[in-house]
């Protein structure tokens, strides 16, 4: 990750401040940094690198899906025996979809998203010097980094990376000789994921403890920005669900390496009958999806939090229904633990149990709809500023609606029997948690880039990036709904062998071209990101006229965030366009005594003395 | 840069980290015991079907006594009776080691009964998963105790001494409770 060690040229200007307290070497500043802001940048840049890799993997399998009968000699030059004769081999195709899913879900949208923005914003927005344990925070990044390296190293082993899908269902994952990818590649996958879980947990522990214990004076829970609420609940989800994945993985490791039969029974492998008896692959599905479902909310909640903040700031309006937003986040978080069975409707589960999971699943539509309505109501008649961050936030709302609607289809057990494992599912989750979450993340990058690097990103490139990606993502994923309704199964290597699927080949060509164009659009982002880091326009302290605490910290970074005392907080973070005030924003640090002309009765929360002073002022200033 | 009041907040926040570790670790064992229940419900011949070795009773006793000595160490430290703290800490470590040995002995008894880890009735494999994972926690707990003890021997400041001791204590009581939970769980299923 060369970017980690070279970015932030502005650092040069303020180095002399840091020397008064403790000497920072290159290693302690950029590599083994314990400063949450630097760790956030490390997570972000590693996340971006992993996202680019996973995107390129998806292009490889898209090429195979679009042109299954065509040779691409260039592929053989790069991939060797995995693309003999210029065609992706079936084994490698499975490896590609597996690693694409794993990287996107875990490495980009979990670590890249939470790791970046929880780290950057939690201490800055609640008014803390750093995390509860900066050392554990540093470990969290380096475990993540090693997990990335191990995951990528599986591309350099003879038998290739893990190939049983990102959910690694046994028996494919439990029998090292089942398919090529079940061998060393699967072992590396498991090692990488254990390290990844350790990293996520260390991060999550810090986020929760910091939010609960280290808020500045006046920052009670109901004055926290919605970003913080979202990161906080995400971290709680991680703490409760990731250990369960570990317990499943441990059993899987014993099945793979020690001959136990937790998941294995009645297996015939290459003509040999295996002795394993009594195990149940469904047990893995239960343990996996008990993590797996909260995991999709771990992916989307931070994006929703970022969107709330960006939309309120750029609509110049208070977020609509702040309390409802918090309660619906809590509602989604709680419900996420009792819906995992909807991934398993066709495992032969008792139809009554299926009905229970169906009801809990459909209830999630309620808080999700509350959030959507509140976003739209915040936008309604606001003084909209279409910064790139705002566009991406609105894009998230769009994807969240169009992807969320198909969730209601899939949540129905009766419909799911038809739609399970078809492209309809692929379309659903790529819109609602893939595109939506990545748009939330990109929105956050555009919005907080000045906070991270002290410079602005280029707006025009941002618009180009947005429109190409937004249209491209719809063109890629929308046609997949129709393929799924027609029964086209996901993860199939080629559509040429089945007559009913052949008619979809032309659609595949269309989707692949759309994917290529969307991928090219990311070049605009990458150029913008890395170029602006050094040559972007210098930022002012509060470039978006925002209320939250992070913009009261100086543009230059100090380990400790604020010079002198940490600012106190007097009001909620969404006092935008408050009637009677001379500006259209009032930072959280402004006491009510300085805004007498705009104070409202409910601002004082029943404080009789404050109400009396306000009443007196109103009499004197009619 | 940090004044003393912020330091105090930081110690509180870091102690809270240990509580969160406790919660996430509980989920780990909850995952396994739920897995056991799902598995055992699979068919009638997939129950535990084994009489648990008596050694588990002795190891349980050792674990409970170690929790008491742990608490005594903490009380002594609070009363600034550092010699007592040292002795109780050493006792706790020794009881932890004793527990470890007893668990391994229990494994031996189990294998003599024909109950192996590699087993086509995975309910029985689960015994090894439960106890093995718990022993991994015991090792970590002993690490925390040794950390507290070396701090005491090096005569570190009382604030730090208490901090290390509290961290070790939260974790040690937790793994004590986890063992009782696992043992009762196994007893109820035997």
CB–CB of A290 and B121 under 8 A? no
Residue A307's closest CA among A364, A389, A241? Answer: A389
Q: What is the pLDDT, as a whole number, of residue A10?
A: 38
Residue B33 pLDDT grade (very low, low, confident, very high; cuts 50, 70, 90):
very high
Query: How far is CA A44 from each of CA A39, A138, A199, A309, A529, rounded to the nearest angstrom?
Result: 9, 14, 15, 19, 11
The residues spanned by each domain of chain B are 4-189
Q: Which of A139, A243, A266 should one mutate to test binding to chain B, selecting the residue with the greatest count of B CBs within 10 A?
A: A243
pLDDT value at A11 more than 70 = no
Measured between beta carbons, the chain A residues lying within 8 angstroms of B30 are 244
What is the number of other CB atoms lying within 10 angstroms of the CB of residue B3?
8
DSSP bridge partners of A422: A489
User: Rounded distance, CA A343 to CA B138, Å?
Assistant: 36
Q: Tell me if chain B has a CB within 8 Å of the CB of A4.
A: no
Restricting to A residues 381-420, those with a Cβ less than 8 Å away from any Cβ of B are none
Give burial (CB, 10 Å; 0-12/13-18/19+) of A510: middle
Contact A211, A232 (CB under 8 A): yes
Q: Which residue from A minimizes the CA distance to B47?
A: A278
Residue B132 pLDDT grade (very low, low, confident, very high; cuts 50, 70, 90):
very high
Task: Select from A129, A201, A251 the Cβ nearest to the Cβ of B129.
Answer: A251
What is the number of other CB atoms lying within 10 angstroms of the CB of residue A622?
4
CB–CB of A133 and B122 under 8 A? no
Q: What is the pLDDT, as a whole number, of residue A621?
A: 87
* pLDDT tens string B108-117: 999 999 899 9
Q: Which residue from B minimizes the CA distance to A255?
A: B118
Measured between beta carbons, the chain A residues lying within 8 angstroms of B32 are 247, 251
* pLDDT tens string A499-558: 999 999 999 999 999 999 999 999 999 999 999 999 999 999 999 999 999 999 999 988
Q: What is the pLDDT, as a whole number, of residue A555?
A: 92
What integer is the mean pLDDT of A469-485?
97
What integer is the mean pLDDT of A376-388?
96
SS (H, E, C) A440-506: HHHHHHHHHHHHHHCECCCHHHHHHHHHHHHHHHHHHHHHHHHHHHCCCECCCCCCCCCHHHHCCHH
pLDDT value at A18 more than 90 = no
Residue B41 pLDDT grade (very low, low, confident, very high; cuts 50, 70, 90):
confident
Q: What is the pLDDT, as a whole number, of residue A15?
A: 40
Q: What is the pLDDT, as a whole number, of residue B6?
A: 58
What integer is the mean pLDDT of B142-154?
95
Alpha carbon of B90: minimum distance to chain A alpha carbons (Å): 28
CB–CB of B1 and A21 under 8 A? yes
Contact A144, A45 (CB under 8 A): no
pLDDT value at B167 more than 50 = yes
Contact A318, A584 (CB under 8 A): no
User: Rounded distance, CA A363 to CA A361, Å?
Assistant: 5
Q: What is the pLDDT, as a whole number, of residue A200?
A: 97
Contact A287, A244 (CB under 8 A): yes
Restricting to A residues 246-275, those with a Cβ less than 8 Å away from any Cβ of B are 246-248, 250-251, 254, 258-262, 275
User: Rounded distance, CA A306 to CA B137, Å?
Assistant: 37
* pLDDT tens string A237-257: 999 999 999 999 999 999 999
CB–CB of B31 and A248 under 8 A? yes
What integer is the mean pLDDT of A268-283?
90
Angle value at C-alpha B70, between B65 and B76, nearest 5 degrees: 125
Measured between beta carbons, the chain A residues lying within 8 angstroms of B121 are 278
Map residue A455 onto helix, strand or coil.
Answer: strand
CATH class of domain segment(s) B4-189: mainly alpha
User: Rounded distance, CA B23 to CA B187, Å?
Assistant: 24
Left (φ > 0), alpha (ψ -120 to 50) or beta: where does A348 sit?
left
Helix (H) or strand (E) holding A268: strand A268-269
Give chain A's mean pLDDT.
Answer: 93
CB–CB of A287 and B119 under 8 A? no
For chain A, give the percent of residues with pLDDT over 70: 96
Measured between beta carbons, the chain A residues lying within 8 angstroms of B46 are 278
Contacts of A347 (CB under 8 A, 6+ apart): A282, A285
Q: What is the pLDDT, as a whole number, of residue B44?
A: 78
Structure token digits, residue B96: 């932890």
Measured between beta carbons, the chain B residues lying within 8 angstroms of A285 are none
* Helix runs in A342-432, H state only: 351-363, 365-379, 388-411, 413-419, 423-429
Q: What is the pLDDT, as a whole number, of residue B7?
A: 59
Contact B166, B74 (CB under 8 A): yes
CB–CB of A213 and B20 under 8 A? no
What integer is the mean pLDDT of A453-472?
97
Q: What is the pLDDT, as a whole number, of residue B47?
A: 85
CB–CB of A260 and B118 under 8 A? yes
pLDDT value at B1 more than 50 = no
Query: How far is CA B1 from each of CA A216, A550, B124, rounded to the nearest angstrom?
Result: 16, 18, 56
pLDDT value at A73 more than 50 = yes
Give burial (CB, 10 Å; 0-12/13-18/19+) of A518: buried
Q: Which residue from A minimizes the CA distance to B3?
A: A565
What integer is the mean pLDDT of A589-612?
90
Structure token digits, residue A442: 């990109």
Q: What is the pLDDT, as a whole number, of residue A9?
A: 38
Residue B9 pLDDT grade (very low, low, confident, very high; cuts 50, 70, 90):
low
Q: Tell me if chain B has a CB within 8 Å of the CB of A213.
A: yes
* pLDDT tens string A556-579: 988 889 998 999 999 999 999 999
pLDDT value at A2 more than 80 = no
Q: Which residue from A minimizes the CA distance to B34?
A: A287
Q: What is the pLDDT, as a whole number, of residue A497?
A: 87
Q: Tell me if chain B has a CB within 8 Å of the CB of A194.
A: no
User: Rounded distance, CA A425 to CA A485, Å?
Assistant: 10
pLDDT value at A19 more than 60 = no
Architecture (CATH level 2) of domain A2-535? Up-down Bundle (1.20)
Contact A379, A315 (CB under 8 A): yes
DSSP bridge partners of A272: A269
User: Rounded distance, CA A491 to CA A179, Å?
Assistant: 15
CB–CB of A205 and B24 under 8 A? yes
The residues spanned by each domain of chain A are 2-535, 549-620
* pLDDT tens string A134-176: 999 999 999 999 999 999 999 999 999 999 999 999 999 999 9
pLDDT value at A98 more than 80 = yes
């Amino acid at each position: 990750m060369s970017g980690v060690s070279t970015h932030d040229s502005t650092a040069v200007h303020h180095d002399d401040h840091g020397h008064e307290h403790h000497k920072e070497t290159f290693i302690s500043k950029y590599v083994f940094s314990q400063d949450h802001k630097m760790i956030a940048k490390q997570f972000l840049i590693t996340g971006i690198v992993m996202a680019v890799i996973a995107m390129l993997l998806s292009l490889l399998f898209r090429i195979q899906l679009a042109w299954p009968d065509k040779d691409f000699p260039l592929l053989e030059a790069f991939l060797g025996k995995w693309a003999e004769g210029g065609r992706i081999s079936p084994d490698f195709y499975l490896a590609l979809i597996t690693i694409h899913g794993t990287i996107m879900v875990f490495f980009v949208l979990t670590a890249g998203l939470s790791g970046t923005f929880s780290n950057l914003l939690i201490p800055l927005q609640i008014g803390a010097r750093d995390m509860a344990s900066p050392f554990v925070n540093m470990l969290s990044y380096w475990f993540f980094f090693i997990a990335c390296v191990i995951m990528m190293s599986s591309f350099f082993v003879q038998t290739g990376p893990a190939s049983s899908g990102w959910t690694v269902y046994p028996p494919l994952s439990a029998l090292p000789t089942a398919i090529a990818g079940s061998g060393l590649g699967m072992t590396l996958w498991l090692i990488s994921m254990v390290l990844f879980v350790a990293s996520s947990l260390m991060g999550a522990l810090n986020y929760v403890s910091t939010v609960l214990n280290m808020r500045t004076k006046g920052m009670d829970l109901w004055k926290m920005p919605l970003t913080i609420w979202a990161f906080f609940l995400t971290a709680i989800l991680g703490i409760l669900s990731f250990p369960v994945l570990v317990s499943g993985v441990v059993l899987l490791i014993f099945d793979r390496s020690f001959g136990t039969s937790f998941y294995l029974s009645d297996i015939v492998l290459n003509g040999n009958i295996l002795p394993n008896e009594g195990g149940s692959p469904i047990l893995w599905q239960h343990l996996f999806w008990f993590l797996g479902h909260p995991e999709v909310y771990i992916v989307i909640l931070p994006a929703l939090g970022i969107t709330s903040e960006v939309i309120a700031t750029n609509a110049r309006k208070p977020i609509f229904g702040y309390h409802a937003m918090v309660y619906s986040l809590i509602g989604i978080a709680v419900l996420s633990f009792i819906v995992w069975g909807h991934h398993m409707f066709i495992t032969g589960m008792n139809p009554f149990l299926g009905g229970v999971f169906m009801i809990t699943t459909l209830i999630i539509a309620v808080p999700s709809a509350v959030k959507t309505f509140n976003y739209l109501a915040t936008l309604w008649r606001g003084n909209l500023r279409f910064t790139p961050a705002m566009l991406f936030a609105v894009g998230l709302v769009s994807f969240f609606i169009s992807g969320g609607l198909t969730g209601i289809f899939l949540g129905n057990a009766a419909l799911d029997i038809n739609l399970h494992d078809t492209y309809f599912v692929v379309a659903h989750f790529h819109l609602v948690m893939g595109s939506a979450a990545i748009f939330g993340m990109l929105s956050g990058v555009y919005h907080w880039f000045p906070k991270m690097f002290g410079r602005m990103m280029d707006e025009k490139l941002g618009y180009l990036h947005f429109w190409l990606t937004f249209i491209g993502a719809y063109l890629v994923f929308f046609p997949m709904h129709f393929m799924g309704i027609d029964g086209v199964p996901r993860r199939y290597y080629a559509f040429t062998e089945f007559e009913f699927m052949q008619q979809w080949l032309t659609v595949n060509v269309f989707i692949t071209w759309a994917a290529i164009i969307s991928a090219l659009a990311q070049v605009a982002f990458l150029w913008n990101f890395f170029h602006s880091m050094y040559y972007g326009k210098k930022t002012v302290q509060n470039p978006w006229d925002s209320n939250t605490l992070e913009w009261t910290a100086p543009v230059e970074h100090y380990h400790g965030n604020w010079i002198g005392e940490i600012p106190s907080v007097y009001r909620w973070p969404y006092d935008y366009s408050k009637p009677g005030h001379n500006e259209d924003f009032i930072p959280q640090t402004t006491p009510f005594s300085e805004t007498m002309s705009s104070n409202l009765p409910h601002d004082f929360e029943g404080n009789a003395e404050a109400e009396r002073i306000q009443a007196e002022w109103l009499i004197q200033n009619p | 840069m940090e004044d003393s009041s912020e330091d105090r907040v930081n110690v509180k926040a870091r102690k809270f980290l240990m509580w969160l570790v406790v919660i996430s670790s509980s989920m780990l064992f909850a995952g396994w015991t739920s897995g056991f229940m799902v598995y055992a419900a699979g068919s009638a011949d997939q129950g535990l079907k084994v009489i648990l070795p008596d050694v588990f009773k002795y190891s349980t006793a050792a674990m409970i006594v170690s929790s008491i000595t742990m608490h005594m160490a903490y009380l002594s430290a609070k009363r600034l009776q550092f010699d007592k703290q040292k002795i109780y800490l050493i006792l706790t470590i020794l009881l932890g080691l004793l527990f470890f040995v007893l668990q391994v002995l229990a494994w031996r008894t189990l294998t003599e009964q024909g109950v192996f880890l590699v087993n086509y009735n995975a309910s029985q494999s689960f015994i090894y998963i439960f106890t093995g994972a718990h022993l991994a926690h015991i090792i970590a707990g002993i690490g925390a105790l040794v950390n507290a003890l070396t701090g005491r021997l090096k005569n570190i400041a009382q604030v730090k001494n208490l901090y290390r001791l509290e961290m070790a204590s939260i974790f040690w009581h937790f793994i004590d409770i986890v063992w009782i939970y696992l043992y009762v769980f196994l007893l109820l299923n035997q």
